[in-house]
Amino acid sequence: MNVAFYEKLWMWAAGVLIVAFLATIAVGVAGSALQPPSHVETIDPTKVWTDPRFAHPGATVVVVAMMYAFMPAEMRVPAGRPVTFRLTSADVTHGFQIVGTNGNTMVVPGYISQFTTVFREPGEYLIVCNEYCGLGHHVMSAKLIVEEARP
Ligand SMILES: [Cu+2]
Protein backbone atom coordinates (compact mmCIF):
# COMPACT_ATOMS: atom_id res chain seq x y z
CA MET A 1 0.00 0.00 0.00
CA ASN A 2 1.32 3.38 -0.98
CA VAL A 3 0.65 6.13 1.58
CA ALA A 4 1.69 9.66 0.72
CA PHE A 5 4.44 11.21 2.82
CA TYR A 6 2.27 14.00 4.28
CA GLU A 7 -0.53 11.55 5.09
CA LYS A 8 1.96 9.40 7.03
CA LEU A 9 3.27 12.49 8.77
CA TRP A 10 -0.23 13.56 9.91
CA MET A 11 -1.11 10.02 11.02
CA TRP A 12 2.03 9.94 13.18
CA ALA A 13 1.30 13.43 14.53
CA ALA A 14 -2.24 12.36 15.49
CA GLY A 15 -0.87 9.20 17.12
CA VAL A 16 1.69 11.18 19.13
CA LEU A 17 -1.04 13.60 20.30
CA ILE A 18 -3.29 10.73 21.45
CA VAL A 19 -0.40 9.21 23.43
CA ALA A 20 0.42 12.64 24.92
CA PHE A 21 -3.21 13.21 26.01
CA LEU A 22 -3.38 9.76 27.62
CA ALA A 23 -0.05 10.46 29.36
CA THR A 24 -1.47 13.65 30.94
CA ILE A 25 -4.32 11.58 32.42
CA ALA A 26 -1.86 8.95 33.70
CA VAL A 27 0.35 11.65 35.27
CA GLY A 28 -2.71 13.31 36.85
CA VAL A 29 -3.93 10.03 38.35
CA ALA A 30 -0.59 8.57 39.46
CA GLY A 31 1.47 11.68 40.10
CA SER A 32 -1.07 14.02 41.65
CA ALA A 33 -3.32 11.35 43.23
CA LEU A 34 -6.38 12.79 41.47
CA GLN A 35 -9.35 10.48 41.39
CA PRO A 36 -12.71 10.73 39.67
CA PRO A 37 -15.66 10.67 42.05
CA SER A 38 -16.42 7.03 42.68
CA HIS A 39 -18.84 7.25 45.57
CA VAL A 40 -22.37 6.99 44.20
CA GLU A 41 -25.07 7.91 46.65
CA THR A 42 -28.22 9.70 45.53
CA ILE A 43 -30.32 12.44 47.13
CA ASP A 44 -33.41 14.43 46.12
CA PRO A 45 -32.03 17.93 45.35
CA THR A 46 -35.34 19.56 46.37
CA LYS A 47 -35.09 18.03 49.89
CA VAL A 48 -31.41 18.73 50.65
CA TRP A 49 -32.23 21.07 53.56
CA THR A 50 -34.41 18.53 55.38
CA ASP A 51 -32.32 15.44 54.67
CA PRO A 52 -30.75 14.17 57.92
CA ARG A 53 -27.49 13.38 56.13
CA PHE A 54 -26.92 17.13 55.68
CA ALA A 55 -28.69 18.42 58.78
CA HIS A 56 -26.16 17.41 61.46
CA PRO A 57 -22.55 18.09 60.50
CA GLY A 58 -20.20 15.94 62.56
CA ALA A 59 -16.60 14.81 62.22
CA THR A 60 -16.96 14.84 58.47
CA VAL A 61 -17.40 18.09 56.59
CA VAL A 62 -20.78 18.26 54.90
CA VAL A 63 -21.17 20.90 52.22
CA VAL A 64 -24.12 22.01 50.15
CA ALA A 65 -23.21 23.81 46.94
CA MET A 66 -25.71 26.22 45.43
CA MET A 67 -25.78 29.17 43.09
CA TYR A 68 -23.44 30.93 44.07
CA ALA A 69 -22.07 29.81 47.41
CA PHE A 70 -20.96 26.88 49.49
CA MET A 71 -22.74 26.17 52.76
CA PRO A 72 -20.87 26.51 55.10
CA ALA A 73 -18.71 29.30 53.69
CA GLU A 74 -15.91 28.57 56.17
CA MET A 75 -14.78 25.12 57.28
CA ARG A 76 -12.25 24.14 59.94
CA VAL A 77 -10.42 20.82 59.84
CA PRO A 78 -7.39 19.42 61.68
CA ALA A 79 -4.01 19.06 59.97
CA GLY A 80 -2.42 15.64 59.59
CA ARG A 81 -5.65 13.65 60.00
CA PRO A 82 -7.98 12.18 57.39
CA VAL A 83 -10.89 14.50 56.64
CA THR A 84 -13.94 13.26 54.77
CA PHE A 85 -15.94 15.69 52.68
CA ARG A 86 -19.54 14.89 51.73
CA LEU A 87 -21.10 17.22 49.21
CA THR A 88 -24.26 17.70 47.26
CA SER A 89 -25.87 20.42 45.18
CA ALA A 90 -29.22 22.08 45.74
CA ASP A 91 -29.53 23.25 42.13
CA VAL A 92 -27.09 22.76 39.25
CA THR A 93 -23.73 21.04 38.76
CA HIS A 94 -20.90 22.73 40.65
CA GLY A 95 -17.25 22.00 41.30
CA PHE A 96 -15.44 21.87 44.64
CA GLN A 97 -11.73 22.46 44.39
CA ILE A 98 -9.50 23.11 47.38
CA VAL A 99 -6.79 25.13 45.68
CA GLY A 100 -3.25 23.82 46.16
CA THR A 101 -4.37 20.36 47.33
CA ASN A 102 -5.70 17.21 45.70
CA GLY A 103 -9.20 17.92 47.10
CA ASN A 104 -11.35 18.28 44.00
CA THR A 105 -14.71 16.85 42.98
CA MET A 106 -17.78 17.54 40.89
CA VAL A 107 -20.95 18.27 42.85
CA VAL A 108 -23.91 16.98 40.87
CA PRO A 109 -27.54 17.57 41.91
CA GLY A 110 -29.16 14.32 42.94
CA TYR A 111 -25.88 12.73 43.98
CA ILE A 112 -23.63 12.87 47.02
CA SER A 113 -19.94 13.23 46.27
CA GLN A 114 -17.49 12.03 48.88
CA PHE A 115 -13.73 12.06 49.21
CA THR A 116 -11.22 11.75 52.00
CA THR A 117 -7.91 13.58 52.14
CA VAL A 118 -5.23 14.64 54.59
CA PHE A 119 -3.99 18.23 54.87
CA ARG A 120 -0.35 18.23 55.95
CA GLU A 121 0.14 21.99 56.10
CA PRO A 122 -1.94 24.16 58.46
CA GLY A 123 -3.20 27.37 56.92
CA GLU A 124 -6.00 28.93 54.93
CA TYR A 125 -7.04 27.38 51.66
CA LEU A 126 -9.31 28.84 49.01
CA ILE A 127 -12.17 26.67 47.80
CA VAL A 128 -13.55 27.49 44.35
CA CYS A 129 -16.29 26.21 42.10
CA ASN A 130 -14.57 24.93 38.97
CA GLU A 131 -17.67 23.97 36.97
CA TYR A 132 -19.39 26.89 35.25
CA CYS A 133 -22.72 27.17 37.06
CA GLY A 134 -24.17 30.51 35.96
CA LEU A 135 -23.67 34.27 35.97
CA GLY A 136 -22.32 34.35 39.55
CA HIS A 137 -19.92 31.44 39.07
CA HIS A 138 -16.84 33.64 39.47
CA VAL A 139 -17.84 34.69 43.02
CA MET A 140 -18.58 31.15 44.22
CA SER A 141 -15.92 30.41 46.81
CA ALA A 142 -15.38 29.36 50.40
CA LYS A 143 -12.54 29.17 52.89
CA LEU A 144 -10.96 26.10 54.46
CA ILE A 145 -8.94 26.62 57.62
CA VAL A 146 -6.58 23.77 58.43
CA GLU A 147 -5.71 24.00 62.11
CA GLU A 148 -2.69 22.62 63.89
CA ALA A 149 -3.80 19.22 65.19
CA ARG A 150 -4.22 19.09 68.95
CA PRO A 151 -2.47 16.15 70.62
CU1 LIG B 1 -20.84 26.78 41.12
Q: Give me the residues near ligand 1 (ion), CB cutoff below 5 Å.
A: 94, 129, 133, 140
Q: For residue 30, what pLDDT is reported?
A: 80
CA 58 to centroid of ligand 1, rounded, Å: 24
Q: For residue 81, what pLDDT is reported?
A: 83
CA 49 to centroid of ligand 1, rounded, Å: 18
CA 12 to centroid of ligand 1, rounded, Å: 40
Q: For residue 25, what pLDDT is reported?
A: 86
Phi, psi of 132 (to 5 degrees): -60, 125
CA 32 to centroid of ligand 1, rounded, Å: 24
For residues 91 and 109, the answer to whether their CB atoms sit within 8 Å is: yes
Report the run of H or E that residue 15 belongs to, with start and end. Answer: helix 5-26
- Dist CA 85 CA 42 (whole Å): 15
Q: For residue 9, what pLDDT is reported?
A: 95
Q: For residue 49, what pLDDT is reported?
A: 76
Q: For residue 150, what pLDDT is reported?
A: 64
Q: For residue 27, what pLDDT is reported?
A: 85
pLDDT tens track of the chain, all 151 residues?
A: 888 999 999 999 999 999 999 998 888 778 766 666 666 778 888 888 787 777 655 468 999 999 999 999 999 988 888 889 999 999 999 999 999 998 999 999 999 999 988 898 999 999 999 999 999 999 999 999 998 876 6
CA 125 to centroid of ligand 1, rounded, Å: 17
Q: For residue 123, what pLDDT is reported?
A: 94
- Dist CA 95 CA 137 (whole Å): 10
CA 139 to centroid of ligand 1, rounded, Å: 9
